[in-house]
Amino acid sequence: MSANHRQKKKKNMLIRIIYLTSVATAIVASSVVAVLSSVTVPPLAVTCVSSIATLSSALSIKLNLKDRKNKLEKSIRKLHKIKDKLDFVIIYSPFTNEQTDRQTDRQTYKHMHETDKRQ
């Protein structure tokens, strides 16, 4: 495993730990709010605990969305690689009838990848 891969794994593990902690905090805080609201407690205490629950929920949602975004980006990169391989196979296939069409397609394919590499 490369060092970069290990760093990503550690980062993902840390994000997962923070995510689970924020979910647990939100659940506990919501439970505390429910208990406090049934007992005579100053409204400020209930408001503070409710705010903690809300912030924890927001954090867990943000982390969950970030994780899903990363997975989608990874899937899109894989799909692009597959598409590039398919384009290559189709363009360089010996079963094309017209030699000039294949030559034009090859030039287009090379041009596409040269512009992709520049970006």
Q: Which residues of 53-89 are buried (b: 16+ CB within 10 A; e: fewer)?
A: beebbebbeebeeeeeeeeeeeeeeeeeeeeeeeeee
In percent, the amount of the chain with pLDDT more than 90 equals 7
Query: What's the pLDDT at 13?
Result: 82
Residue 91 has pLDDT above 80, yes or no: no
Read off the pLDDT of each residue in 87-93 and give the average, rounded to a whole number: 77
Query: What's the pLDDT at 65?
Result: 81
* Structure tokens belonging to residue 44: 């400020």
At 76, the pLDDT band (50, 70, 90 cuts) reads very high
Read off the pLDDT of each residue in 34-39 and give the average, rounded to a whole number: 73
